[in-house]
Amino acid sequence: MSSPPLSKLHPVVIWSTWFWSGLWPKAPGTIGSLAALPVGWLIFLYAGPVGLLIATIFVFATGWWSTKVYLERTGREDPGEVVIDEVAGLWLALAASDGGLYTVLSLFVLFRLFDIWKPWPISWLDANVKGAWGVMIDDIVAGIFAIITFIGIFLLLVWMIGWEILQGG
């Protein structure tokens, strides 16, 4: 016996598509990330990096569950409209920010770059880890890559132009 199709008002659809942002016909991952950006930024501003990390863990866990149900009910492997994984990966990256506009936007761009480009091991995870875990984990690693790259760029700038100049003095 097959399950009835999921309504767009079903909580699993709402959550997995991050309040329907993943249903956008073009670039659903980027649109979902854009929809997650102001929420993550506000959490950071009001609850700090620890609060955002807690929110990220919550989104990851509930996203894994909703994605699992979504995949089971639709019979699909990694549907583009499921963007809760982008929410978790982006929020992880944003937790490394200072909350400033340029830092947040830089981490957003780096996260999207790694999520789209998928260098190893992200590409390996995307190709080999199946189910809800596979949908979720490659975006977490993309978030980690964004953090590492951001820190690397920052350290390179410090080395190149000096700490005093970066601090405005």
- Block means of pLDDT (10 residues each) for the chain, length 169 residues? 83 98 98 98 98 98 98 96 98 97 98 98 98 98 98 89 72
Both structure tokens of 49:
């990096």
Tell me the C-alpha distance between 99 and 104, whole Å: 6
Residues near 74 by beta carbon (within 8 Å), at least 6 away in sequence: 5, 6
Which residue, among 12, 141, 9, has the nearest Cα to 84 in the 3D structure? 12
Q: Kindly report, residue by residue over 63-110, the tens digit of the pLDDT.
A: 999 999 999 999 999 999 999 999 999 999 999 999 999 999 999 999
pTM beyond cutoff 0.75: yes
CA count, 13 A, side-chain hemisphere, 168? 0
pLDDT at 83: 98
Q: Is the dihedral of CA 112, 115, 117, 119 positive or negative?
A: positive
pLDDT at 169: 61
Percent pLDDT > 70 in the chain is 98
